[in-house]
Structure 1
Amino acid sequence: MALPFLLAFSATTIAQAQDLKIALITGKTGVLESYAKETETGFMMGLEYLTGGKMEINGRKLKVIIKDDQSKPDIARTLLAEAYGDDKVDLAVGTTSSGAALAMLPVAAEYKKILLVEPAVADAITGDKWNRYIFRTSRNSMQDGLAAASTIKGGGSIAFLTQDNAFGRDAVKAAKESLTMVGSKANVAHEEYAAPNTTDFTAAAQRIFEALKNKPEPRVLQIVWAGPNPMSKLAEMKPERFGIALAPGGNILPIMKTWKAYAGTQGTIFYYYDFPKNKMNDWLVAEHNKRYKAPPDMFTAGGFSAASAVYTALSKAKSSDTEKLITAMEGMEFDTPKGKMNFRKEDHQALQVMYHFKIKKEQKNEWDLLELVREIPVTDIPVPVKNKR
């Protein structure tokens, strides 16, 4: 009678020793390539830090399977199905493009496996397109909008310049709703949607300037752009002639480095390496500087945060079973380079601080770019629940 028991015990032992497999899907080719590479770097550094270099959780080795969806929805959908079905991953993380991420959501529901969204921001991901297998560590468009709106509570006039895609339209919709939510008296004078690959902004700028120039002051042009940012090109057209101030959303360091001539310009951002003060961020900044001769960027921190969520969930659940992970992750608090985050139970969106910045006048080195005006706490970012749970 001992033999069946021993066989069962051996099978259990083998199962426990199996690798934990995670798919990391990003848009490593195309316009968002730099975002994807930063996400991958941050994700792998996060797992390294959290596991003390062992790359294992609960005695099981971590295996990360990296896939490139080229920021194309059809490819993203296919790769996620392949990861769940053929690769037998325990969960997946991704992706860079909001359009691609939205295409992946039904696949997670079909396979009943967790998809942790990072860094896509479209509100619909944790809104009307959400399902119970979706969690998100990246901020969403409403968090961006509310952070920006918290800096423009007075009157005046606002115009928006963004991309004509899911990201851009979602961002402007969220920004307008955010202004109402914070009680801003500012009036939205114009919305300009440009093709994502636009390089000549002359016509767009003329329409924006014409719409704003005679409106009540202060006059603000908010720029919401993924990829190479047009702020410098707009600044060259001298919007100050019409009393118009530019308000850029934060961007990656190589782009913000080109903004040095615009000292004093203010905006909001979800991460800048010098703002958070905690042990995890200290390690990330020091180690990234050592390895890459530059500080970590926004999406590096995002990838690290996703790794922390994965590590915390698997450690807490002591299992890779999807239902046990969902139970562990709903309401779960976890450390990130930005500080504490937690997954809201209602829609699995990670609640997190944001930052109000000013471009520095005196910059000590090529990466000394931003001055912190204020850390915007979660209490000032009342993201509405928009899913249909």
Structure 2
Amino acid sequence: MKPLFRTLAGAVAGLAMGTAAWADDPIKIALVHGISGHSFEVFSKQAQTGFELGIEYATDGTGMVKGRKIEIIHKDTQFKPDVARAVLAEAYGDDEVLLAVGATSSGVTKGLLPIAEEYEKILIVEPAVADSLTGPDSNRYIFKTSRNSSMDMQAQALALKPDENLHVATLAEDYAFGRDGIKAFRAALDGSGATIEAEEYIPQGTTDFTAATERMFNALKDKEGRKVIMIYVAGGGDPMGKIQAMQPERFGIEISTGGHILPVLPTYKRVPGMEGAIYYYYEAPKNEVNDWLVKTHQERFDGPPDFFTAGGMAAAMAVVKALNTAEELETEALITAMEGMSWETPKGTMTFRPEDHQALQSMYHFKIKVDENVDWAIPELVREIKPEEMNIPVGRNN
């Protein structure tokens, strides 16, 4: 029989070795984004760049939290719901990630919500937008750093200054992003006196908007007052340019839309003076985090950061804040730390609302300015729209 003190000493030594090994293990985080096979690929790449920059900034360049290295594991959803569910399950299960961040398409991301619940691990939604991602079908493991459709639409409504003289026709893509967006826009106009005269939904990837535009013209042309076609399309196809080419001004009709990524903004040069709302434009926010992002991105990539670069950075900074704040690096402790958590981002302060885990954040009212020396139209800041100005519906209540 071994002496008791030797048995205890061996146990303590084994425990110490196990603890040391655990302390050396990286903190694994999965980035679950579509990076092949879709026009939204550019959104994913921006989010990935922003996430990596955010980890760098939030950890003072060490890439470490509590003495452990952060390891980013990349998973390609290929923008296919079945692939997305499989790679998230693989990340939670085989890869043993602590949490995951993604995905790009709202439709694809919606299918990931039950996977997070099944594995009882956190999914931070970025950059998908639809309100339903924190809605009744969501769950307590979902946190959302991206803005939602209600923010887009309430900010857009504020930019339009709605009253009883405003008549609107809407154009959106026929999937979660578009449907949720127009539902939120209708809610944002409720009580203002403004009227939505027509809603047009088009398949993703549409390039011919003629029929939908003619229907919107017919719905608006005989109305008295201000007449606006509001476009809420995330993909390509240049709906604004093609609608503009059909001369809506013949009927006194204006075009309005939210801001977009830099590669799309050159098309906005056709609508100088147009007002709308935007999630992020690198010149709009005034804070230290954004100053660093703009300067660093310009130095490394020879250009300013874009929409989803800022979003990816915000998600990364939320992750680091949560890891530093949580009493333990496990799901329940992270949830406790993140509910109600505020943190700094390139857009200023964001806060996870405890009820549904949506990050409340500012939006920006812009007016299009055309400068011949700038390749794209400039969404010049009119004013920052603060979170408290927007009545964002609570999604999940459990």
What's the TM-score once normalised by structure 1's chain length?
0.97
Tell me which moved more, 362-371 or 351-360. Answer: 362-371
CA distance in structure 2 between the aligned counterparts of 1:289 and 1:58, rounded to whole angstroms: 30
Instruction: Report 1:247-262 matches (<5 A).
Output: 247-262=256-271
CA distance in structure 2 between the aligned counterparts of 1:388 and 1:310, rounded to whole angstroms: 23
**Structure 1 residue aligned with 2:90:** 82
**Structure 1 residue aligned with 2:3:** none
Superposed displacement of residue 136, structure 1: 0.3
Change (3 A) 1:57 1:363: farther
CA distance in structure 2 between the aligned counterparts of 1:338 and 1:240, rounded to whole angstroms: 35
CA distance in structure 2 between the aligned counterparts of 1:293 and 1:257, rounded to whole angstroms: 18
**Structure 2 residue aligned with 1:128:** 136
**Structure 1 residue aligned with 2:223:** 215
Secondary structure at the aligned position of 1:161 is classed as: strand
Change (3 A) 1:366 1:309: same
Write the letter of the residue equivalent to 1:297.
Answer: D
CA distance in structure 1 between the aligned counterparts of 2:327 and 2:266, rounded to whole angstroms: 44
Instruction: Report 1:1-389 matches (<5 A).
Output: 1-29=8-36, 30-151=38-159, 152-155=161-164, 156-180=166-190, 183-228=191-236, 229-362=238-371, 364-367=373-376, 369-389=378-398
Q: Deviating runs (4+, > 4 A) in structure 1?
A: none
CA distance in structure 1 between the aligned counterparts of 2:162 and 2:210, rounded to whole angstroms: 30
2:168–2:220 Cα contact (<8 Å) kept: yes
Superposed displacement of residue 318, structure 1: 4.8
Write the letter of the residue equivalent to 1:95.
Answer: A
Superposed displacement of residue 258, structure 1: 2.1
TM-superposition CA deviations, 1:37-60 (whole Å, max 9, x none)? 111111111111111221111110
Superposed displacement of residue 93, structure 1: 0.2
Superposed displacement of residue 366, structure 1: 2.1
Write the letter of the residue equivalent to 1:212.
Answer: L
Superposed displacement of residue 250, structure 1: 1.1
Superposed displacement of residue 146, structure 1: 1.1
1:218–1:244 Cα contact (<8 Å) kept: yes
Bigger Cα Rg: 2
1:150–1:380 Cα contact (<8 Å) kept: no
**Structure 1 residue aligned with 2:5:** none
Secondary structure at the aligned position of 1:128 is classed as: coil
TM-superposition CA deviations, 1:116-145 (whole Å, max 9, x none)? 000111111111111000000000111111
CA distance in structure 2 between the aligned counterparts of 1:377 and 1:212, rounded to whole angstroms: 32
2:269–2:376 Cα contact (<8 Å) kept: no
CA distance in structure 2 between the aligned counterparts of 1:67 and 1:331, rounded to whole angstroms: 29
Write the letter of the residue equivalent to 1:22.
Answer: I
Tell me which moved more, 63-72 or 340-349. Answer: 63-72
CA distance in structure 2 between the aligned counterparts of 1:323 and 1:16, rounded to whole angstroms: 19
Superposed displacement of residue 24, structure 1: 0.2
CA distance in structure 1 between the aligned counterparts of 2:304 and 2:377, rounded to whole angstroms: 10
Secondary structure at the aligned position of 1:311 is classed as: helix
1:162–1:169 Cα contact (<8 Å) kept: yes
CA distance in structure 2 between the aligned counterparts of 1:42 and 1:271, rounded to whole angstroms: 13
TM-superposition CA deviations, 1:308-343 (whole Å, max 9, x none)? 010100011153200000000000001100000010
1:222–1:248 Cα contact (<8 Å) kept: yes
2:124–2:143 Cα contact (<8 Å) kept: yes
Secondary structure at the aligned position of 1:221 is classed as: strand
CA distance in structure 2 between the aligned counterparts of 1:203 and 1:50, rounded to whole angstroms: 49
1:93–1:117 Cα contact (<8 Å) kept: yes
CA distance in structure 2 between the aligned counterparts of 1:275 and 1:319, rounded to whole angstroms: 37
Superposed displacement of residue 27, structure 1: 1.4
Secondary structure at the aligned position of 1:371 is classed as: strand
Change (3 A) 1:368 1:239: closer
What's the TM-score once normalised by structure 2's chain length?
0.95
Could you tell me which runs of 5 or more consecutive residues in structure 2 were left unpaired when the two chains were aligned.
1-7
TM-superposition CA deviations, 1:258-292 (whole Å, max 9, x none)? 21132101111110000001111011111111121
Superposed displacement of residue 16, structure 1: 2.0
TM-superposition CA deviations, 1:194-234 (whole Å, max 9, x none)? 11111111111111111111123211111001122411111
1:295–1:367 Cα contact (<8 Å) kept: no
1:117–1:134 Cα contact (<8 Å) kept: yes
